[in-house]
Amino acid sequence: MAVGIFGGSFNPAHVSHVLAIGYALSVYELDGVIVIPVFRHAFGKELAPFEDRMEMAKLAVGWMPGVEVSDIERRLGGDSRTLYTIEALLEEKPERELRLIIGADVLGDLPKWHRFDRIAELAPPIVIGRAGVEHPDAPPALLPEVSSTQIRALAEQGRLDEAAHLLPRAVKRYLETRRLYRDS
């Protein structure tokens, strides 16, 4: 059983997350995808509360067949480390073959990841090209240029309607109802 794992901040979840998962499921030999919001960012990025990011991930992709949103990083606690998450997933179900799904935008950060060499052994990466990313190992861009930073800035300014084309509608409603990023 081959399973893609797709981790991220989901701060907030947006359309490129949805498109990346749909693409991976349709092109690669995957039986499903586990979406994993980080509990606490290893690089110290400030994030919305975990519960909100978990809910946004569920709203964005939980409806997709074969997609599960997991709270494994909350259960592991501490700073999120992809290697520890992969090892925990394999400990739960050692028969699984894992593939790490990443956007080309993270290629420049891989040298900072804890033991990326081991991560690549346990879950060979699937790299999905993203518009606006220039890296020698980046495949052709398939995903639109969508920035969580831009979405948060628009939300903070009360201009979330300008980001409507970047967000799944259920996530946009959630942001409006919870007033996330408005009081930061």
Kind of pairing between the strands at 125-130 and 97-103: parallel
Residue with tokens 């980046």: 138
Render 128-147 in DSSP notation, one character per residue. EEETT---TTPPPEEE----
- Residue range 23-38: mean pLDDT, rounded: 97
Portion of the chain with pLDDT greater than 90, in percent: 78
Most distant CA pair in the chain, distance: 48
Q: Who contacts 148 (Cβ-Cβ below 8 Å, separation ≥6)?
A: 9, 11, 12, 14
pLDDT over threshold 60, residue 173: yes
Give the pLDDT score at 33: 98
Q: What is the set of domains in the chain, with CATH numbers? A: 2-143 (3.40.50.620)
Q: Among 15-24, 53-62, 105-114, which is the least confidently predicted range?
A: 105-114
Task: Take residue 175 and report the two structure tokens written for it.
Answer: 């942001």
* Angle, alpha carbons 55-6-61 (nearest 5°): 40
Give the pLDDT score at 164: 94
Give the pLDDT score at 128: 95
**For residue 50, what is the enclosing H or E element?**
helix 50-61
Give the pLDDT score at 57: 98
* Angle, alpha carbons 59-77-118 (nearest 5°): 95
- Residue range 55-83: mean pLDDT, rounded: 94
Q: Which of 49, 50, 77, 42 is nearest to 183 (CA)?
A: 49
Which is higher by pLDDT, 54 or 77? 54
Give the pLDDT score at 183: 66
Portion of the chain with pLDDT greater than 70, in percent: 98
Contact by Cβ (8 Å): 30, 124 = no
- The amino acid occupying position 103 is G
- Residue range 143-153: mean pLDDT, rounded: 92
Give the pLDDT score at 40: 86
Give the pLDDT score at 134: 86
| pLDDT band, very low/low/confident/very high, at 184 (cuts 50, 70, 90) | low
Distance, CA of 98 to CA of 176 (rounded, Å): 35
pLDDT tens-place string over residues 96-116: 999 999 999 889 988 888 899
Kind of pairing between the strands at 125-130 and 141-143: parallel
Average pLDDT of every residue of the chain:
93
